[in-house]
Amino acid sequence: MKNALTAAVAVALAVSAAGCGQLEAEANSKHLCVAQTNVAAIPAAPPVSVPFAPEVELRLDLGDAVPNLNQEGVEADIHPEAITLGSVAGNVSFAGVETLTLTVQPPTGRTDLTPAEFRYERATPAPSEIFSLPAKPVGSVDLADYIEGDIVRIRASFSGSAPQQAWTATLEMCGAVRVNVDYWKKITG
């Protein structure tokens, strides 16, 4: 995505230098994935089937993949296909998890937004091993509205049984991204 955005910037500046007056560029990616490791350390559950703790706070940093989203003159649309929860080791079984709800929190002070929800439900019959939990959006979600300082705050709540080993969470968000940069607003803003 950075290469596409860099190319869009170069095109906008070249067109402007040619006297066309265009100071706007757009970059699109139909499928961009942002992965983040070491999101949160989750303790092991006791060796009996117990439910998860009520909620886990997670943070997804989009700043490296889609930079400068909070700047003047930058508009973005981020429509995730899924946000997938996994483990750093990759061998933690989530077979006991029945449901996962990821609730994306609005930025501080954005009372016009309600939390966005992503859900995973275990298939029936349940597989014996599950190593990642892909949560799909409930309705249409533009994640760009939920970014605060390059960060998306997510609350994870589970039902079912927790893994019986300690694990470190990973998050991966995949979806379509559109970024429009109005350089006139950037320069004068």
Q: How confident is the model at residue 91 (pLDDT cuts 50, 70, 90)?
A: confident
Q: How confident is the model at residue 49 (pLDDT cuts 50, 70, 90)?
A: low
Between the CA atoms of 96, 41, 139 and 4, what dihedral angle is there, to the nearest 10 degrees? -130
Q: What is the mean pLDDT of residues 49-60?
A: 66
Which residue did the predictor score with more confidence, 58 or 171?
A: 171
Q: CA 70, 73, 79: angle at the middle one, nearest 5?
A: 60
pLDDT digits (tens, 9 = 90+) for 166-188: 889 899 999 998 888 776 665 55
Residue with tokens 């992965």: 35
Between the CA atoms of 1, 82, 87 and 102, what dihedral angle is there, to the nearest 10 degrees? 120
Range of weakest confidence among 37-41, 133-137, 172-176: 37-41
Q: Rounded to whole angstroms, how far apart are CA atoms 141 and 119?
A: 13
Query: Residue 25: pLDDT above 80?
Result: no
Predicted pLDDT at 132? 94
Provide, rounded to the nearest whole percent, the portion of the chain with pLDDT above 70.
75
Predicted pLDDT at 33? 87
Q: What is the mean pLDDT of residues 23-50?
A: 75
Predicted pLDDT at 17? 45
Amino acid of residue 89: A
Q: Rounded to whole angstroms, how far apart are CA atoms 141 and 67?
A: 20
pLDDT digits (tens, 9 = 90+) for 61-70: 887 777 666 6
Element of type H or E holding 159 = strand 151-160
Predicted pLDDT at 19? 45
Which residue did the predictor score with more confidence, 4 or 116?
A: 116
Amino acid of residue 97: V
